[in-house]
Amino acid sequence: MALNQLLITFAIVAVVLPQVVLATEFVVGDNSGWTINFNYTAWAKDKEFHVGDKLVFKYPAGKHNVFKVNGAEFKDCVIPPVGVAQNTGNDIIPLAAEGEKWYICGIAKHCESGGQKLAINVLPATEKWTAPAPAPTIPSSAKEILTSRYQLLVAVTVAIAMILNV
Ligand SMILES: [Cu+2]
C-alpha cells in the first residue's frame, strides 16, 4: 500500500474510531471505590448509564467482592453462592443490556450494614455509537480526554500528510 493510502486510511480510522471506543467506564464510587459507608444511590443518581458502558469496581482484593443480583436480593442483601462473585479488586462489568441492574458486596454484612450496594438503570446505547461526531453533551471527563486524544491524532495525521504532500 502506498504511503498516502496508508495515511488516508489512518486518518479515516482515527475519525471513525471514537464512536467505537467512546463507551464510558464508570469507576464505581469514583475515588472512594467499592467500599462500605458510601452512598452509591447518590453516586449513581446524576449519571446516565448506557448499553456499551462499563462499571469498574475497585477495592483491595479480598476485602470486598461484587455480586450481580436481582431486585429482591438487592433489597434484602441476599448473597448468592460465593463462586459467582467477581473478586479481583478491579472488576470490569460491561453493561450489555438495558434495564435495572443491581450489585452488592457479599463480604460479611457490608451490604446489610455498610450500604455496599449499587442499583442502576441502563439506558439504550446512545447515538454516540453511530453519529459521525462525538456527542457534545457527554459530561464525563474520561470521554473528553479520549476525544481530545483522537482529535490530536487526526491533527497529527493531517499534518504529516501535508508535510509529505500526499
Ligand atoms: Cu464489601
From the list 22, 31, 29, the residue with the least C-alpha distance to 47 is: 29
The domain limits of the chain are 22-129+137-146
pLDDT tens profile 14-33: 555 555 547 899 999 999 99
28, exposed or middle or buried, with CB in 10 Å at 0-12, 13-18, 19+?
Answer: buried
Mean pLDDT, 10 residues at a time, over the chain (166 residues)? 58 54 89 98 97 98 97 97 91 98 98 98 77 51 52 58 64
Question: What is the CA(77)–ligand 1 centre distance, in A?
Answer: 12
Question: What is the CA(99)–ligand 1 centre distance, in A?
Answer: 24
Cα–Cα distance for residue pair 135/14, rounded to 1 Å: 16
Terminus-to-terminus CA distance in the chain, angstroms? Answer: 13
Question: What is the CA(56)–ligand 1 centre distance, in A?
Answer: 15
CATH (one of 1.10.2020.10, 2.60.40.420, 3.30.590.20, 3.30.230.80) for 22-129+137-146: 2.60.40.420
For residue 126, the model assigns a pLDDT of 79
Question: What pTM value is reported for the model?
Answer: 0.66
Q: Which secondary-structure segment (H or E) carries 68? A: strand 67-69
